[in-house]
Structure 1
Amino acid sequence: MSVPRTRNPMPDWIEEPHPHVEHSLISFPAKHILLVTINRPDARNCLPVGATIELGALWKWYDVEPSLRCAVFTGAGNEAFCAGMDLKERFDILKQGGVAHEYPSGQFAGMSNRAGKKPIIVACNGHAHGGGFEAILNADVIFASPNATFALPEVLRGVSALAGALPRVFHLFGNHRAMDLVLTGRRLSVDEAKEWGLVKEIVPQDKLLDTAIDYAKLIASLSPDSVIISRLAAREAWETGVSRATMRGQELWADNMLRSENAREGLAAYKEKRAPVWKRSHL
């Protein structure tokens, strides 16, 4: 999989610079698209606490940066998307009497409990274990390479998956499949993950990132207001399990969306049989 190895300069269409990051690479492969690459391949892209804090700030910046509409999240190398937390660092913290509660509100990778406003597409380029799996479980769409595996091995380490995974695997897979994963720590193969509905598509490693970016471009070509509101309503229904939840987003945002420039533009383009030209979202 081709991954940028250097930090690209900020394009002139970005309005505000992104927060400083040390453990990930930030690039912009197309207009309106953010690409975030965990850049610790020698450590199987495991994340120390500082990396999670960085990513938490980065995703918040992404949500408020008006020029961005969709993000792609991946890992450097061909072995692992993210092997979870840096266990060596965590052990050292525990030895010193700390518990490392410095995580942002989005929890692991700033993502495992993120609500957010805009979609994140994952290009899972290998193993997603522990916190890496917890982050992926909260992604919007997942593409995975043939060597990808998914696991919550916390029971093998004397801890538990407390960054959002446990309720999500239950809602996604049902009770018995969830118990199979969390009580044994076993690896879920990419074929099982696709069969279970976690992975949208299994893509060869050398085409994985391009496939995810092309998919993000498709989302970015649509009305940013419609994407934000549709995602909000769908996530509310998923997380609460109540059909009424789909109305909350409408109550809060529907009037603004329907009165927006993008609503007028979309309807005018349909009437005039032309491609719409979307404006920035003000939601």
Structure 2
Amino acid sequence: MSVPRTKNSVPNWIEVPYPHLEYSLVSFPRKHVLLVTINRPEYRNCLPVEATIELGALWKWYDSEPELRCAVITGAGDQAFCAGMDLKQRLDILKTNEVALEYPHGGFGGMSNRTGKKPIVVACNGHAHGGGMEMILNADVIFASPNADFRLPEAIRGVSALAGALPRCMVLFGNHRTMDIVLTGRILTLKEAVDWGFVKEVVPQDKLVQRAVDYAAEIASLAPDSVIISRLAAREAWETGISRATMRGQELWAENMLKSKNASEGLAAYREKRDPKWFPSHI
């Protein structure tokens, strides 16, 4: 399905227009907040290769746009956030021996192996299966509707969840829970996802996106350099382990952060008992 880009959708505070999109929609519901909607509801928002490539380009643009500070991603409709890759397209590729277009460096949906600079909040509006679950396993905060559930069904399909999900599940859930869901391909229920600390909050479907946008706006109201650096320093544990991550955070970011205009502004605002006026981040 091809979705035309909405005209006049870029506010004047955005410095560089976003890349062309065929399979997702972009809007800017609040200052400094990006909202991305996967727009293939009749296909449960599954992503063909081309869709994941364009999302990879979009996330790169998001990280480079100084006026954007937090993003929200959701799916169109009320049934599925993302059902994963377009399996019919994948079968066609296998049958014809065509070389598949390569996924972006960030992995499936440009997210499953993304490090990036800025946070992505998920408004999970239904099923997040396969690649859809791999995407949100690597997101920063997850809100979900009451009908949401999660699944890595790859073993049922004759493949494996190799877009980043397996090590992230191990870090998030531990060995036995991870083995339970990846070896059986069973559905992880919403109650389990909440109990396991995966989902932050369950929100009624009609209020889900607004809740996620409000939360993103809260993040966007804070010092942008501090959000970027705190996120990156914390996420180093994904790659290096806790003790090394702490050291690398100090080595890579602490000095530059303390020398930034936003650090000076935040401290001055505190001393002067006023609200800070943050500068765009160019980290």
CA distance in 2, matches of 1:150, 1:50: 24
> Is 1:132 matched up with 2:138?
no
Secondary structure at the residue paired with 1:244? helix
1:82 aligns with 2:68: no
How far residue 141 of structure 1 moved from its aligned partner, in angstroms, is 0.2
Q: How does 1:226-241 map to 2 (within 5 A)?
A: 226-241=226-241
Does the 8 Å contact 1:8/1:27 carry over to 2? Answer: no
Alignment of 1:46-65 (within 5 A): 46-65=46-65
CA distance in 2 between partners of 1:76 and 1:260 (Å): 39
Give the match for residue 242 of structure 1. 242
Q: What CA deviation, in whole Å up to 9, does each residue of 1:250-274 have, x standing for no partner?
A: 2122211111110011001111111
Shift of 1:186: 0.3
Gaps of 5+ in 1: none
Compute the displacement of 1:6 (Å): 5.1
Partner residue in 2 for 1:145 = 145
Question: 2-side partners of 1:279 and 1:241: how far apart?
Answer: 32
Q: Which amino acid aligns with 2:108?
A: F
Stretches of structure 2 that go unaligned for 5 or more consecutive residues are none
2:49/2:101 contact within 8 Å kept: no
CA distance in structure 2 between the partners assigned to 1:237 and 1:227 by the alignment: 17
CA distance in 2, matches of 1:7, 1:180: 46
How far the C-alpha of 1:242 sits from its partner, in A, is 3.1
Alignment of 1:158 with 2:129, yes or no, is no
What is the distance in 1 between the residues matched to 2:238 and 2:8? 36
**Alpha-carbon distance in structure 2 between the residues aligned to 1:192 and 1:7:** 41
Structure 2 residue identity aligned to 1:230: S
RMSD between superposed Cα atoms in Å = 1.2
Asked if 1:262 is matched to 2:256, the reply is no
Give the SS at the match of 2:146: coil
Shifted more, 237-246 versus 253-262: the winner is 237-246
1:42-66 per-position Cα deviation (integer Å, ceiling 9, x unaligned): 0000000000000000000000000
1:7, distance to aligned residue in structure 2 (A): 5.9
* SS in structure 1 at match of 2:53: helix
What SS does the corresponding residue of 1:156 show, helix, strand or coil?
helix
The separation in 2 between residues aligned to 1:147 and 1:246, in whole angstroms, is 38
Amino acid in structure 1 at the alignment position of 2:227: V
Q: 1:148 to 1:172 in 2, by over 3 A?
A: same
What TM-score comes out, normalization by structure 1 length?
0.96
Change (3 A) 1:8 1:26: farther
Q: Tell me, in whole angstroms, the C-alpha distance in 2 between the residues paired with 1:27 and 1:250.
A: 35
Cα deviation, 1:221-271, whole Å, max 9, x if unaligned, reads: 000000011001110023322312122132122211111110011001111
> 2: CA distance between counterparts of 1:90 and 1:84?
11
The whole-number CA distance in structure 1 between the counterparts of 2:92 and 2:213 is 38
| TM-score, length basis structure 2 | 0.96
Equivalent in the alignment of 2:66: 66
| DSSP-derived class of the 2:35 partner | strand
Report matched runs for 1:1-283 at 5 Å.
Answer: 9-98=9-98, 100-283=100-283
SS of the counterpart of 1:29? Answer: strand
After TM superposition, give the deviation of residue 282 of structure 1 in Å: 2.0
Deviations 1:115-156 (A, max 9, x none): 000000000000000000000000000000010000000011
